[in-house]
Structure 1
Amino acid sequence: MTVRIDDAAQHLCAKSDWKLSNLQLQKIIYMADMNFVGKYGERLVNEDFEAWDYGPVLPSLYHKCKAFGAKSVPPVFWGADDISDTREGEMLDLAWERLKSLSPGQLVETTHSDLGAWVRRYAPGAKQIKILSQDMIDEYDRRSDHASR
């Protein structure tokens, strides 16, 4: 089951005690989605990421949260469903546990990795360049191969 962006964002923000910035939220959801599609062959969220200057971005989430800048995103995900007891919620929890100690800059470095889909799609200053599910599956495979060395 693919979840709505607001469901995933609400889940992660609540998990962080509402301490995540827009950038941190984007990067953690991206890593969870990349791992989810790599593992299960289906997307975690119902929107494609785009290759923007600071890495993979969900445009609708960016526009909902951009007013908060680098500050924490407050509870703005009205009507979000609780996804705690789903595979999607579990993958978000796993991503949070693995990435919560990284700074925003370290999260950007992670998503800008040579192993990643972003680097293969990015064109400086361009927007609306989608990161496809297959790009994410390929990234998952490259990261898995790299980790097993």
Structure 2
Amino acid sequence: MSAQVVADDILKIAKRRGMPLTPMQLMKLVYISYGWYLAMHNDKLFNDRIEAWKYGPVIPNLYQATKRFGRGEIPTDLVADGPISNPSMEAFYDSIVENYGKYSGIALSNLTHRQGTPWQRVFQTNVMSTEIPDEYIRDHYQQGLDARRATPTPA
């Protein structure tokens, strides 16, 4: 699977919810999906390269596909109606959109810039194309999974 397929599926779910997304929001939602999937399944969600850019993790192929929209919303009329590419992933993507889709692109970028994040571990000012290793991404999101599992659920 490619990051573009994941992005298309996330856009379909966001469209159903009436939530238009900017390219930056979409980029971060695809990255966050990748991180949670990697931690949960110890497997890649897609094979595209993830790099540390100024505004956080970027999937260059997805950036190229969405940059024409600039800072504006991706027009929902360009998003196909119908089922997502892999129906077994719908609940997973829906959870990502539910939990993170309400945040602006800048807020999501700030989330990926926190101390100890995979981006923060490899980013260097004025250095482009530094790949973020999967082990950093997996470890970061695994910590999140472990923290959620350790938190008791209310009765």
Q: Do both share a fold (TM > 0.5)?
A: yes
In the TM superposition, residue 92 of structure 1 has moved relative to its aligned partner by 2.1
Q: Is the 8 A contact 1:24 1:104 kept in 2?
A: yes
Deviates more, 1:138-147 or 1:52-61: 138-147
Q: Structure 1 CA distance, aligned partners of 2:53 and 2:92? A: 24
Deviates more, 1:42-51 or 1:89-98: 89-98
In the TM superposition, residue 125 of structure 1 has moved relative to its aligned partner by 2.4
> Residue by residue, what CA displacement relative to the aligned partner does 1:24-67 show, whole Å, maximum 9, x if unpaired?
00101111110000110111122021000000000011011111
State the secondary structure of the residue aligned to 2:74: coil
**Bigger radius of gyration:** 2
Q: Is the 8 A contact 1:84 1:90 kept in 2?
A: no
Pick closer, same or farther for the CA change 1:86–1:127 going to 2, 3 Å.
farther
Q: Structure 2 CA distance, aligned partners of 1:125 and 1:14? A: 35
Q: Which residue of 1 aligns with 2:11?
A: 13
What does 1:103-118 align with in structure 2 at a 5 Å threshold?
103-118=104-119
Aligned AA (2:84): D
CA RMSD of aligned residues (A): 2.2
TM-score, normalised by the number of residues in structure 2:
0.82
Equivalent pairs counted in the alignment come to: 143
State the secondary structure of the residue aligned to 1:86: helix
Structure 1 unmatched runs, 5+: none
Aligned AA (1:4): S
What does 1:91-130 align with in structure 2 at a 5 Å threshold?
91-130=92-131
State the secondary structure of the residue aligned to 1:16: helix
In the TM superposition, residue 84 of structure 1 has moved relative to its aligned partner by 4.3
